[in-house]
Amino acid sequence: MATTKMATTRWLHAQQRQGPEAAPSGEAWGSHGSARCGRAIRAALIIQNWYRGYRARLKARQRYALTIFQSIEYADEQGQLQLSNFFSFMLENYVHIQEKDPTLVNRLFGCAPQDDRGRQECIGIIEVPESYSGPRLQFPLNTNSLTIMIEAFKKQQILHAYYVLEILFETKEAMKQMPNFTHIRTCPTKEITICGDLHGKLEDLLLIFSKNGLPSGYNPYVFNGDFVDRGKYSIEILMILFVSFLLFGDDLCLNRGNHEDFLMNMRYGFTKEVLSKYKIHGKKILQVLEEVFAWLPLGTIIDDEILIMHGGISESTDLNLLHHIERNKMKSVLMPPVPMDKDSGTETKKNKGHVPRGVKLSGSPSDYLTKHEWEQVIDILWSDPRGKRGCYPNTCRGGGCYFGPDVTSKFLNKNRLKLLIRSHECKPEGYEICHDGKVITVFSASNYYEEGSNRGAYIKVGFCTTLRFFQYQVTKATCLRPLHQRVNTIESSAIRILKERMVSRKTDLIRSFQLQDRTKSGKISMGQWAFSMENILGLNLPWRTLSSHLVLTDDDGNIDYMTCFHDIHIQKPVKEATLIETLYRYRSDLQIIFNVIDSDHSGLISMEEFHSMWKLFCSHYNLHIGDSQVDELAERMDLNKDGSIDFNEFLKAFYVIHQLDNLSRSNTQLA
């Protein structure tokens, strides 16, 4: 826009300079010059309006693409939260599990403090060999340790498991001394930097440090949760943050996010990352991390005026209760940790339905959070602000709530606060201000969905609550690509994952389309198609707008609905179509369930366990899969025919083939 305006202005000035030389007289020049200026201004306005419209259309396409990404992300989270119901069902019906693995019961539902693993027991036998070429740390840690580690991570070196465990044990001990809410203060010479979700994106953290400086007593930071999952460098981010916390204490605040949770980590990548980087000691690292995550503070309060929490609030959020809750009792926010034994008294009746009948947990009722306490934590980790007044269920995520501006005002007034800063949601510009300036969202992982999809941001809070916002975007290119190229990339990626969602429900979609197609013509109206898409997929997307990317339309505006699936199909490690779709649709859930059962992280479960769990899964989700199909599935999963199933490798075989992608690659090669 600025370039267009400058070029137009220069052109006008050039015309004016030429005017007197070309005109026969002053009077003639006046009339000719005015006409020229008028035409030039009209031309400039036409160009300007065209450019504005062009840019607005690109921005609209970008918004629609981000809406697709976000809708599918939230639908996955909803499915993750619903897994808690399956685990309850599993423990009610799978009688062998309590006999064979009672620790699993308490891990899922007890969430009581585990026996502290001594440092010597975990790392006493681990040695750092002479051949190790990564960073070497000295304990006690110093500022040089942080610098050495960061430089090593830039070179993609991996920190030895010995150092990782040492840092985790020291962090856990230091976290135990922290209150649920850390109170910090600004001063005229010191600003506090607030960062949102990082999600394993190390380049974003390093960019923040390069722009804003490393943490120190003079440069304090608050990191507002979701350090891990999705990105490739979650463990590196944790090591940097934990070492910074150990060095600078009150000047480096770490809040818990909804992804600091071992069940979330199984689905979104962190567990897999740790086990792949630390093949020998990965299990120990994950066990200690469960405890460290449970000890993370719930929030930070700046100058007794600004509250920083990961998600948000609800109309029932009780800040006083949250200050005194025993936060370490919640190992996973996905499992309500309340005993449901007949001897548990009134607490059992009050919290009925969360822990299965007949499941006996170790410890006394005082070792567990109550349902009310659990709900309080869920709300502050999972809730999102909305413009609508009131407080209502967060149906997109499946946990927490949506809270309106009236809820915010009431909460802040009650607690004598001025501002709520939260994270938890990707924003195109890296931050967003809502609720009359009383709620700010900050998100620090740029390119979260796709390269160019969003900026990252951080906030600096100065003395007397002055706020400054800083935006950035990590890019491998020397200069940012043009907007239309970035939008094309984001849009293509969004449509790709949406089509994968569609093909996972292909049978259900076709059945719905055919019910609408009363004449059996293979075509339905746009309204009927949009209704079927939303009814089956439940993503709350603008289907009419997206139709041109997903399906073919005839001259009368009718949809040829089978063209939804012409350019995409699922690779077939088994024959039966319904089973293929079921496995693909629930592959993430199945992977978590089997990983939970696989408590030793061997990647293998017995054939008997597989049969039992698959039948329970089908029963709970009302899936109609015959025994013969389950037998075929189990046989194919037993790759080396030893009676054990490597389910992770098997589930990798279910992937979607995009025929148009293959065609595009072929065309590119030909060109």
CB 257 within 8 A of CB 310: yes
Q: One-letter amino acid identity for 296?
A: L
Using an 8 Å Cβ cutoff, are 298 and 311 in contact? no
Q: Which of 406, 183, 394, 220 is nearest to 307 (CA)?
A: 183
Distance separating alpha carbons of residues 592 and 647, to the nearest angstrom: 10
Q: Which has the closest alpha carbon to 259: 236, 237, 224, 226?
A: 226
Apex CA 454: angle with CA 450 and CA 459, to 5°?
140
Residues 6 or more apart whose CB falls under 8 angstroms from that of 134 comprise: 152, 157, 158, 159, 160
**Encoded tokens for 459:** 């906030």
Which of 259, 310, 424, 435 is catalytic? The answer is: 259
423 vs 226: CA distance, rounded Å? 9
Q: Locate 495 and state its tokens.
A: 């449509």
Whether 259 is a known active-site residue: answer yes
Q: Which residue has the tokens 């000719």?
A: 32
Look at phi and psi of residue 643 and say left if phi exceeds 0, alpha if psi is from -120 to 50, else beta.
left
Give the separation between CA 239 and CA 168, rounded to whole angstroms. 8
Whether 542 and 64 have beta carbons less than 8 Å apart is answered as yes
- d(CA 631, CA 37) in angstroms, rounded, equals 82
Distances from the Cα of 405 to the Cαs of 383, 439, 556, in angstroms?
13, 9, 45
E strands along 43-130, which residues?
none
Q: Rounded to whole angstroms, how far apart are CA atoms 57 and 49?
A: 12
Q: What residues are annotated to the active site?
A: 259
